[in-house]
Structure 1
Amino acid sequence: MLNTALFMQQIREHPIVATISIAAGTILASEVIWKAVKFFHSQLSGKRPLRVHEVLSFNELGDICAAQHLRKSMPGSPELTKSPEPIVLQCRNMYCSLRNVGKIVEQIDRAVYSLDVAIYTFSSLILADAFKRALQRGVSVRIISDREMVFSSGSQINVLACLGVPVRMPITSKMMHNKYCVIDGVERVEEIRRLKQRKWIRPYCSVVVSGSVNWTRQGFGGNWENCILSEDKELARMFQADFTRMWKAFEKSENNLKQE
């Protein structure tokens, strides 16, 4: 009350100064509010810088640093405790197979709600371990694959199916040749929110992993391949829509997986 009385007294005694002060304060407040509105608008409209948006290349230069990584990852190596970031992600060889696979793993490890995978063949133990960690965190994992390659030697798809991951395949002689993964797609996250009757969701980021490479040792370390990692919202939306369409179309194949 005392502060209010003093304020009113100042206005009566110095009306011009008070008017200027109030006007300046109003302008300053409106500028702060406008900048806040622009910031939140840019966040919602997707104009902020993308967290991840890059192309990974796999080629004949991918294994030239393999021996170095093996040495640094041995028990007792000082490099193991120098940085919390995985050693392979620090590799200066931009074509390093382990580094690039590690970047895919890094995105899988960030999944909060869902991992929807459409992959022709999947035998990578490193990626399979990342999916197992996701399952332990409660992430929903779904896989669409080719009918023949699901049961190929070394396939990790059947391994994940035994852990409860639903797997669907086209019932046709034509190949399901896609190689992509949608991490926390908006449509799928919303579906999970409704199914679990949650009013609020934790922060998440939709990411697409897509390219020519199959998730195999040959794909990552023997072929000339590419893989795109992108947080682009429109790309994620389109890939999620494609996965959802196939998931519904291949519904009848899910119960037959373990019988073959």
Structure 2
Amino acid sequence: MLITQIIMKQIRDYPIVTTLSIAVGTVLASEVIWKLVQCSRSKREKASRVHEVIVFNELGEICAAAHMRNNGIGSQKPHMSPCCNAHCSLRNVAKIAEQIDRAVYSIDLAIFTFSSLSLADALKRALQRGVIIRIISDGEMVYCTGSQITMLAQLGVPVRVPITTNLMHNKFCIIDGVERVEEIRLLRKLKWMRPCYSIVISGSLNWTAQGLGGNWENCIITADEKLTATFQAEFQRMWRSFGKTEASRIQPK
């Protein structure tokens, strides 16, 4: 009670000083709160960032029969039952799908051949969330048996290929690349952006049943800023280059 009386007396006797003190205190308190929010957000982002090497080898399919018994046929997101196989192919594929499921604004995929139903389903889920997807592929392999690229083109995903006898042999995917996200922000005239961070998935791996469950392959998933920026810049360069002629743009059938 006494403290309240003292404060009220100070306000009556020194209104300007009191007002300035309250204003300064409010600003300082706001700064402290904002710093705490930024620190908390930074910790969450660091905890969710990934730097991982995934290997696919001859040991990846020894647990396949058990997983098939525990999952329904055609399941879009197979349930990962406990698995003691350190090289489990299904778990490895799920790690790639998990990153696709985290996409907020963009997915840019450069892939030689793509027939994996599980990863195609992950891209379809991204489309349903409003994520903008672009695909660059090889002019011949885009039409190979089981290709999921033509299916995604039918869903409205723009696809471009080089017009050349040389192979478009890249296999990388950038999720929420900084340059691309900024491009989308300007395109949509957005003032506020949802939190996101860049991921690149790259390696020898084609997104096919053979690549994901038969070959000896490697795949790096990383949030390294330099690597994501480099891959994003190359995708942007190829996208512009392959968009100069109508023949480079795959049309839905």
TM tier, shorter chain?
0.7 to 0.9
Partners of 1:171 and 1:74 in 2: how far apart?
41
- Alignment of structure 1 residues 87-236 onto 2, 5 Å: 87-88=79-80, 90-236=82-228
Q: How many residues align?
A: 232
Among 44, 55, 58, the residue aligned to 2:56: 58
Q: Give me the identity figure in percent.
A: 59
Partners of 1:238 and 1:72 in 2: how far apart?
41
Aligned residue for 1:244?
236
Aligned residue for 1:23?
none
SS of the equivalent of 2:95 reads helix
Question: Aligned-pair RMSD on alpha carbons?
Answer: 3.4
Q: Residues 100 and 126 of structure 2 are in contact (CA less than 8 Å); yes or no, is this contact kept in structure 1?
A: yes
Q: TM-score, with normalisation over the residues of structure 2?
A: 0.80
Q: Residues 71 and 78 of structure 2 are in contact (CA less than 8 Å); yes or no, is this contact kept in structure 1?
A: no
Among 227, 232, 250, the residue aligned to 1:257: 250
In the TM superposition, what whole-angstrom CA distance separates every residue of 1:185-210 from its partner, at most 9, and x where no partner exists? 11111110110111001111211111
How far the C-alpha of 1:236 sits from its partner, in A, is 1.0
Q: Residues 174 and 199 of structure 2 are in contact (CA less than 8 Å); yes or no, is this contact kept in structure 1?
A: yes
Aligned residue for 2:69?
71
Change (3 A) 1:249 1:50: same
Q: Residues 168 and 254 of structure 1 are in contact (CA less than 8 Å); yes or no, is this contact kept in structure 2?
A: no
In the TM superposition, what whole-angstrom CA distance separates every residue of 1:123-172 from its partner, at most 9, and x where no partner exists? 11111111111111111000001111011111111111111111111111
Q: Residues 57 and 225 of structure 1 are in contact (CA less than 8 Å); yes or no, is this contact kept in structure 2?
A: yes
In the TM superposition, what whole-angstrom CA distance separates every residue of 1:11-62 from its partner, at most 9, and x where no partner exists? xxxxxxxxxxxxxxxxxx99x95xx48x749949xx9456211111111001
Partners of 2:172 and 2:245 in 1: how far apart?
20
How far the C-alpha of 1:232 sits from its partner, in A, is 1.5
In the TM superposition, what whole-angstrom CA distance separates every residue of 1:84-113 from its partner, at most 9, and x where no partner exists? x96337433221111101111111111110
Paired amino acid for 2:184: I
Q: Residues 153 and 252 of structure 2 are in contact (CA less than 8 Å); yes or no, is this contact kept in structure 1?
A: no
Paired amino acid for 2:56: F
Paired amino acid for 1:217: A
SS of the equivalent of 1:252 reads coil
Partners of 2:154 and 2:7 in 1: how far apart?
73
Paired amino acid for 2:3: N
SS of the equivalent of 1:202 reads coil
Partners of 1:254 and 1:222 in 2: how far apart?
36
Change (3 A) 1:43 1:174: same
Partners of 1:216 and 1:99 in 2: how far apart?
15
Paired amino acid for 1:60: E
Q: Residues 119 and 145 of structure 1 are in contact (CA less than 8 Å); yes or no, is this contact kept in structure 2?
A: yes
SS of the equivalent of 2:140 reads helix
Q: Residues 114 and 139 of structure 1 are in contact (CA less than 8 Å); yes or no, is this contact kept in structure 2?
A: yes
Change (3 A) 1:146 1:250: same
Gaps of 5+ in 2: 10-27
Q: TM-score, with normalisation over the residues of structure 1?
A: 0.78
Gaps of 5+ in 1: 10-28
Partners of 2:50 and 2:103 in 1: how far apart?
14
Aligned residue for 2:3?
3
